[in-house]
Every structure is written in C-alpha cells, then in structure tokens.
C-alpha cells in the first residue's frame, strides 16, 4: 500500500499495530487514515482511531476482508468511517479512494464558490442556492442543535392544523425592498419532542414550548443568513415572534422536516414579500426598523451601516444625534 | 472554587442550555434577557468573570452592550453566542474587545472549554 501511493504527492507512514497507530496519529495529524478492520471490534477500533486528538478531521478508510453483514457496515459508518475497500484491491483503486477526500473538499468549496453576479435587475431570491436548499440547511442546523435525525421533503405537512404552534422570523433586504419570512409550525408530536428533548421537561408550559419554537425559527434564520452570505446577500434579522399557522398551506415555499422516527414533524415555510421602504424623520425611528442606507457624519465617518436593524437603544441615540430635520429611508419594523 | 458567569439572551431556551452546560463543571450562572437587563444586573454583581452574550436582542443588542461595557471600562471577558456569521459584525465585536464568537447551534463542550480558558474555575 505504501508503494501504491506516489511519494511526491503523499507522505505515508505505515504501522503494524494499534498502539503504534495511535502514537503516529497523535504525532502526525494525518488527513487520511487507512486501517484494516479486524474480525471483531472494527467499529470500536474506528472510534479509538478517531478519538486521538489529532484525528477528529481525518478521513477514515477501512479495509475489509470479504463482505461483512450490513449491520457491521452501518456500525462502522456510525463510528466515523468514511469509505471502504475490500481485499483484494488494486493499486489504482487504493489511489482513487485516497483521492476521494480531495474531491469532496473541491465539491464542498464549489457549493460556496461565488459565481458571476448581475446587479442590473431585481434580486430573485427564489433562485438563490441558499433559498432552494433552505429545507436541507435548516434541517442540518436543527439536527445539530438537538442531536437527532431530520428528514426533509418538499411541501407543507398536510396534517398540520391551523391551530398548531408557529414561530416566525422576519429578515429584511432593505436595499432591495424585500422581506423574507421563515416560519416553523410544530405538530403535537413535535411540540412534545421540544418539551422532552430541548426543554428536558415533558410538563413544560406552553410559554416555554413557544419560546423554544421561536429559537428554532431563529436557528433557521441563521442557517439561511449564513448561506445567503456566501452568495453576497446580507440579510438583517428581526426578533422571532409567535405567528398564526392559518395563513400557510399551499401559499409559499414549504418543506416538511420529519424529526427522528416517532418524534413528529415541523413545517418550514419560506415567504418572500415585496415591501416599500419609508422616508421618515430621524425622530420617528423606532425599534425593529432597518436602515436602507449608511448614516455618516459630516466628515464621512460611518456611524451606522445600511442593513442595521435598530434596537430601542440605537433608535433613540440616532434620533437624538440626527434631529427631526434629518430624513432617512428605512424598511418597516421586523 | 467557582466563578460567576452571565448569559444574556432573549431566548429562555438558550439561557437554559447555556446554564445547564456551565453549571455542570461548577459555574454560577446569572441570566439576563437583553442588554438593558444585563447592565442593570451587572451593576449589582461585582464578581462577574465571564459574559456569554447574544447579538440580536430587543431594546439593546449585544454589540451595543459591548460599546456600553467598553465605555464603563469593564474588564469582564465577553463571548458572543449568536446565529450571525457576518464578518463585519464579528470584526466589530472583536474591535470592541469581545474574546470569542460562537455560532449557534453550539456544542456545550465547546462553550465549557471557552469558559475554562477565559474564566478558569480554579483561579
């Protein structure tokens, strides 16, 4: 195997037992670890290899003898193994398998790689990669937040009633006079899951469950916002609030986020709204408004950047600083 | 030995999660719901060793709170805990003296490690 990997492109160290492997990993922080799966305890060995401090980000390639049962393969994947090879294998196969993480890295970079941007027309939010992938983006963040599996399907969950608890976060694109709203609607099982898993209290009151749902909406907003940033779109985030689920079915971009089996379902609704900015006096500034342009001092020093969402503190400060005769353009409160 | 930490977030869920994560190793955790509430409570608590603070909050956000703490000459280390990832905001927080920026959803062990670095329990 050492001979199969070109020395000019790979630094290879071979060891013959687990103790030497753990020491070498700790010393060298390898990008790829290739290991032979023993007849028993393969997943445990994989965990021990990954458990070394320098191995957390390593790509784990397991070499198998014969065809292990599907259960063992899934256990190896759960233990952090990324790919497998079965003996006998060719040098070419080994080389291609070792190249896989480089390909994955390129693929990952391509997802966030900016392309060409056309600023001449109106912004089409629905065509953004961040918007098209919204269901998956939110599901990934929720899965990380609650350490659970979240499955995504397109469309609004048909069983969600209009009385289902719902939280909404509004995000503003003041320069384009657009507002995006993300809403999460919980079915009864998901509401119970929120109490049990996030609040760790099956008897938690409705107010606590609604607060947690608002934070989930906030998390969803963060996922969209960070993905949009990769496409040079900066969204100003509002404060999540309770909303009525009665408005949603069939009207907007919707996804169904199914929590770990038996844990219920969250409906995710994405709305794109056109709104008109207002021109107001500085003394009319209030919490939640989003500035459509920079505010600078007479000397040109930036005081508050376009896209800033005002709090009561900043609204009062600007009103006092700029005075009633200073007019500025703002997006409505979010 | 213990150390007092303040978590500032308008979400009760986040306050609970941060409190649960930091109580386990032995921190005493105080809570505030926004920057205004935090300033009032910090005035009463002189022994604060660390502040964990959200960015988007009603009344006074996390960046505005950093500005106020700076103006007061506070030396309490502040770590931002937020869904925001905008480089300009991170740069602004850093220039105002924030010691860290953790993006939600967060791993409790990462928060504990950050707390241990900035506010060691044995100190």
* Average pLDDT, integer, range A236-265: 86
* Residue B5: φ, ψ to 5°: -125, 145
CATH no., domain A278-331: 3.90.105.10
Question: At B1, is the pLDDT very low, low, confident or very high (cuts 50, 70, 90)?
Answer: confident
* Residue B47: φ, ψ to 5°: -105, 25
Nearest CA in chain B to A221: B83
Contact of A86 with A36, CB cutoff 8 Å: no
Contacting residues of A for B11, CB less than 8 Å apart: 211-212, 214-215, 218
Q: Where are the domains of chain A?
A: 18-111, 125-274, 278-331
Helix, strand, coil shares, percent, chain A, to 5: 40, 20, 40
Nearest by CB to A219, which of B16, B59, B83? Answer: B83
Contact of A332 with A289, CB cutoff 8 Å: yes
Asked if pLDDT for residue A250 goes beyond 70, the answer is no
Strands (E), A5-67: 32-36, 59-65
Task: Tell the burial category of A21 from Cβ atoms under 10 Å away from its Cβ (0-12, 13-18, 19+).
Answer: buried
Does B64 reach chain A within 8 Å, measured CB to CB?
A: yes
Question: At A168, is the pLDDT very low, low, confident or very high (cuts 50, 70, 90)?
Answer: very high
In this prediction, residue B43 carries a pLDDT of 95
Does B19 reach chain A within 8 Å, measured CB to CB?
A: no
**Interface probe with B: pick from A138, A172, A201, A215, most Cβ of B within 10 Å:** A215
By percentage, how much of chain A surpasses pLDDT 90? 53
Task: Tell the burial category of B116 from Cβ atoms under 10 Å away from its Cβ (0-12, 13-18, 19+).
Answer: middle
28-47 of B, contacting A, C-beta below 8 A: 35-36
By percentage, how much of chain B surpasses pLDDT 90? 89
* Residue A312: φ, ψ to 5°: -60, -40
In this prediction, residue A275 carries a pLDDT of 87
Which residues neighbour A42 within 8 Å (Cβ) at sequence distance 6 or greater?
A: A62, A68, A72, A75, A76, A79
197-226 of A, contacting B, C-beta below 8 A: 198-200, 208, 211-212, 214-215, 218-219, 221-223, 225-226
CA dist., res. A266 & res. A197, Å (int): 14
Which residues neighbour A219 within 8 Å (Cβ) at sequence distance 6 or greater?
A: A138, A141, A142, A145, B83, B104, B105
* Average pLDDT, integer, range A273-295: 93
Q: Which fold has domain B4-118?
A: Rossmann fold (3.40.50)
Asked if pLDDT for residue A249 goes beyond 60, the answer is no
Choose among A204, A161, A316, A183: nearest CA to A253. Answer: A183
Contact of A222 with B103, CB cutoff 8 Å: yes
In this prediction, residue A104 carries a pLDDT of 81
In this prediction, residue A111 carries a pLDDT of 65
**Interface probe with A: pick from B105, B109, B113, most Cβ of A within 10 Å:** B105
Alpha helices in A258-311 (DSSP H): none
Choose among A120, A134, A126, A119: nearest CA to A272. Answer: A126
CA dist., res. B76 & res. B70, Å (int): 10
**pLDDT 10s digits, A21-40:** 999 988 888 889 999 999 88
Question: At A181, is the pLDDT very low, low, confident or very high (cuts 50, 70, 90)?
Answer: very high
CATH no., domain A125-274: 3.40.1550.10
Give the largest Cα separation in chain A, rounded.
81
Asked if pLDDT for residue A251 goes beyond 80, the answer is no
**pLDDT 10s digits, A84-140:** 898 888 888 888 888 888 778 777 766 665 566 666 778 889 989 899 999 999 999
In this prediction, residue A209 carries a pLDDT of 97
**pLDDT 10s digits, A48-61:** 998 887 777 789 99
Map residue A265 onto helix, strand or coil: strand
CATH no., domain A18-111: 3.40.50.2300
Contact B14 A215 (CB under 8 A): yes
CA dist., res. A213 & res. A145, Å (int): 12
Contact of A280 with A328, CB cutoff 8 Å: yes
Question: At A334, is the pLDDT very low, low, confident or very high (cuts 50, 70, 90)?
Answer: low
Asked if pLDDT for residue A149 goes beyond 90, the answer is no
In this prediction, residue A316 carries a pLDDT of 95
Nearest by CB to A208, which of B12, B56, B60? Answer: B12
Nearest CA in chain A to B14: A215
Query: What predicted TM-score, i.e. pTM, was given to this entire model?
Result: 0.75
Question: At A247, is the pLDDT very low, low, confident or very high (cuts 50, 70, 90)?
Answer: confident
**Interface probe with A: pick from B10, B14, B16, most Cβ of A within 10 Å:** B16
* Closest approach of A20 to chain B, Cα-based (Å): 29
In this prediction, residue A256 carries a pLDDT of 94
Per-chain mean pLDDT for chain A: 88
Nearest by CB to B11, which of A215, A234, A309? Answer: A215
Contacting residues of A for B12, CB less than 8 Å apart: 208, 211-212
**A75 or B117, greater pLDDT:** B117
- Both tokens of A276, joined, read 């008109």
Q: Positive or negative CA dihedral for A281, A282, A288, A294?
A: positive
CA dist., res. A158 & res. A161, Å (int): 8
Contact of A317 with A267, CB cutoff 8 Å: no
Asked if pLDDT for residue B42 goes beyond 90, the answer is yes
Give ∠ CA A284-A289-A294 in degrees, rounded to 5. 90
């Amino acid at each position: 195997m050492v001979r199969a990997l070109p020395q000019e492109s790979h630094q290879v160290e071979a060891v013959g037992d687990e103790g030497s492997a753990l020491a070498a990993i700790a010393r060298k922080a390898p990008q790829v670890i290739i290991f032979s799966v023993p007849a028993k305890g393969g997943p445990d060995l994989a965990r021990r290899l990954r458990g070394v401090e320098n191995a957390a980000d390593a790509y784990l390639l397991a070499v198998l003898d014969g065809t292990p049962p599907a259960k063992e393969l899934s256990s190896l994947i759960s233990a952090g193994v990324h790919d497998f090879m079965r003996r006998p294998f060719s040098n070419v196969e080994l080389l291609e398998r070792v190249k896989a993480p480089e390909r994955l890295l390129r693929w990952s970079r391509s997802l966030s790689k900016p392309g060409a941007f056309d600023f001449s027309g109106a912004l089409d939010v629905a065509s953004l990669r961040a918007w098209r992938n919204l269901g998956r983006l939110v599901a990934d963040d929720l899965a990380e937040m609650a350490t659970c599996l979240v499955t995504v399907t397109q469309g609004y969950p048909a069983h969600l009633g209009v009385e289902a608890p719902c939280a909404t976060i509004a995000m503003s694109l003041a320069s384009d006079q657009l507002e995006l709203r993300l809403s999460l609607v919980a079915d009864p099982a998901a509401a119970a899951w929120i109490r049990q898993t996030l609040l760790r209290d099956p008897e938690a009151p409705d107010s606590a469950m609604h607060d947690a749902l608002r934070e989930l909406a906030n998390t969803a907003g963060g996922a969209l916002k960070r993905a949009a940033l990769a496409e040079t779109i900066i969204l100003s985030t509002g404060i999540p609030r309770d909303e009525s689920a009665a408005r949603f079915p069939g009207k907007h971009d919707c996804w169904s986020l199914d929590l770990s089996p038996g844990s219920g379902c969250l409906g995710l609704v994405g709305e794109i709204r056109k709104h008109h900015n207002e021109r107001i006096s500085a003394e009319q500034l209030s919490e939640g408004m989003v500035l459509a342009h920079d505010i600078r001092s007479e000397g040109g020093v930036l005081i508050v950047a376009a896209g800033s969402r005002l709090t009561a503190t900043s609204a009062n400060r600007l009103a006092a600083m700029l005075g009633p005769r200073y007019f500025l353009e703002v997006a409505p409160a979010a | 030995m213990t150390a007092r930490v303040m978590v500032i977030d308008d979400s009760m869920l986040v306050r609970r999660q941060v409190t649960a994560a930091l109580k386990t190793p032995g921190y005493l955790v105080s809570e505030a719901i926004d920057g205004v509430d935090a300033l009032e409570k910090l005035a009463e608590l002189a022994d604060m060793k660390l502040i964990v603070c959200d960015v988007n909050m009603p009344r006074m956000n996390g960046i505005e709170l950093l500005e106020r703490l700076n103006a007061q000459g506070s030396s309490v280390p502040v770590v931002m805990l937020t869904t925001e990832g905008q480089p300009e905001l991170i740069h602004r927080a850093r220039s105002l003296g924030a010691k860290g920026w953790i993006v939600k959803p967060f791993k409790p062990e990462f928060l504990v490690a950050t707390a241990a670095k900035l506010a060691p329990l044995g100190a």
